[in-house]
Amino acid sequence: MNDRVIGILGGGQLGRMLALAGYPLGLRFRFLDPAGDAPVRYLAEQVVASYEDHLAVAQFGDGLMVATYEFENVPVATARALEQRIPVYPPPQALEVAQDRLVEKRFFAQLNIPTAPFAPVDDRASLDAAIEQIGLPAILKTRRLGYDGKGQTLIENRADIDDAWYALGGQPLILEGFVPFARELSVLAVRGQDGAVACYPLVENLHRNGILYRSIAPAPRLTAEVQLLAETYARRVLEALDYVGVLAIELFEADADRAGSARLLANEMAPRVHNSGHWTIEGAVTSQFENHLRAIVGLPLGDASARGCAAMVNLVGSLPDVTMLLALPDTHLHLYDKAPRPGRKLGHVTVCAGDATRLAERLAMVERYMPLSPFSPGD
């Protein structure tokens, strides 16, 4: 495998962690990213160019074994152009689904995966109609390019409608009903070229100002019924798309139905390795990054089981006292080589333990050193 070069569209922290997971497997990497200071710049060859620069994309793809992406807003046309020359995983169709919230919600509905009620919004009249159909409170979102809480606004009552339209109107939108839920979860699954599937334990996520702050794995109070339901939904998506690689689906756990059965609502999917899976580097038998690479190059999938309990805390905006953090037991630091900026993900900390009680104790010590109010708006 020493002559195998993997192409990655995007040079952010996810690409960085993919490369770090791939070098022990004898893989090499080439990145395409328009930012000359991308976090991967010292790790591998980087083509610095726009994703829509056809000559640069051709240069990037020359001699690659396979291409993948580390963020879901890669232009679909670019992925399809590469697909004419080399295998591209996950399939570009997965990008098409994930890049448009309305398409994504309709895709879930086709697969009988529950979601919050939703309706398209193209103008002010259709917003009023959608509110009549769905009711309030509801969330108005852009259909494309929203992430980390951007591109959305809560409409609690009719007095908020004008402000919401002023903030987001004039582009394709979707209105989603606000569904009360107990907690936010995510399921990460990986599918190989041979159709084999491995699923990680469900993760409980806590967001602050729309940005993921903390993930705990396995999710506390996780039942076999909820885990199986999440895996069932993930398998439906994987099979419908003939998917290869890691897939993440963000879920809301709602109250049980009248029959007492578990209820999970799909919020959105990410056709790539995911922030809520960073704990797998130290906390799982095989990390999400290694398993993604195994899948796209045709190697057997690794064991996705957890090694005890783990938690991941994002470092956003500014860094804590690194020396103090690294003095804590079973605490692992990952910095992304990014300049500090409000709201920017600069790294993460993973905490591991043999049981949930000890994990909670260690996590409390780690969070003591987190910077105050790290979640101000930014990129």
pLDDT at 232: 98
Q: Under a CB-based contact definition with an 8 Å cutoff, are residues 6 and 30 in contact?
A: yes
Q: Quote the CA–CA distance of 189 and 198 in Å, as a whole number.
A: 6
The domains of the chain, with CATH numbers, are 5-88 (3.40.50.20), 117-177 (3.30.1490.20), 183-367 (3.30.470.20)
**For 140-179, how does the pLDDT look when each residue is reduced to its tens digit (9 = 90+)?**
999 997 665 678 999 999 999 999 999 998 899 999 999 8
pLDDT at 377 over 50: no
pLDDT at 148: 58
List all residues 6 or more positions away from 269 whose beta carbon is below 8 Å from its beta carbon: 97, 98, 104, 237, 247, 248, 249, 250
| Residue percentage of the chain with pLDDT more than 90 | 90
pLDDT at 378: 40
Cα-to-chain-centroid distance, residue 230: 16
**For 323-349, how does the pLDDT look when each residue is reduced to its tens digit (9 = 90+)?**
999 999 999 999 999 999 988 999 999
Task: Reduce the DSSP state of residue 238 to 3 states and report it.
Answer: helix
pLDDT at 160: 95
pLDDT at 379: 37
**For 234-272, how does the pLDDT look when each residue is reduced to its tens digit (9 = 90+)?**
999 999 999 999 999 999 999 877 667 779 999 999 999
What is the average pLDDT across 341-363? 96
pLDDT at 262: 79
Q: Under a CB-based contact definition with an 8 Å cutoff, are residues 39 and 15 in contact?
A: yes
Q: Which residue has the higher pLDDT, 23 or 259?
A: 23
pLDDT at 210: 84
pLDDT at 68 over 90: yes
Q: Quote the CA–CA distance of 29 and 200 in Å, as a whole number.
A: 26
Q: How many CB atoms lie within 10 A of CB 241?
A: 20
pLDDT at 370: 87
Q: Under a CB-based contact definition with an 8 Å cutoff, are residues 313 and 374 in contact?
A: no
As to burial, measured by CB atoms within 10 angstroms (0-12 exposed, 13-18 middle, 19+ buried), residue 11 is buried
Q: What is the mean pLDDT of the chain?
A: 94
What is the average pLDDT across 312-323? 94
| Residue percentage of the chain with pLDDT more than 70 | 96
pLDDT at 151: 85
Q: How many CB atoms lie within 10 A of CB 23?
A: 12
**For 193-223, how does the pLDDT look when each residue is reduced to its tens digit (9 = 90+)?**
999 999 999 999 999 988 999 999 999 999 9
pLDDT at 359: 98
Q: Quote the CA–CA distance of 331 and 352 in Å, as a whole number.
A: 7
pLDDT at 16: 98
pLDDT at 2: 42
Residue 81: closest CA among 32, 144, 37, 39: 32
| Helices 54-61, 76-83: crossing angle, 10 deg rounding | 40
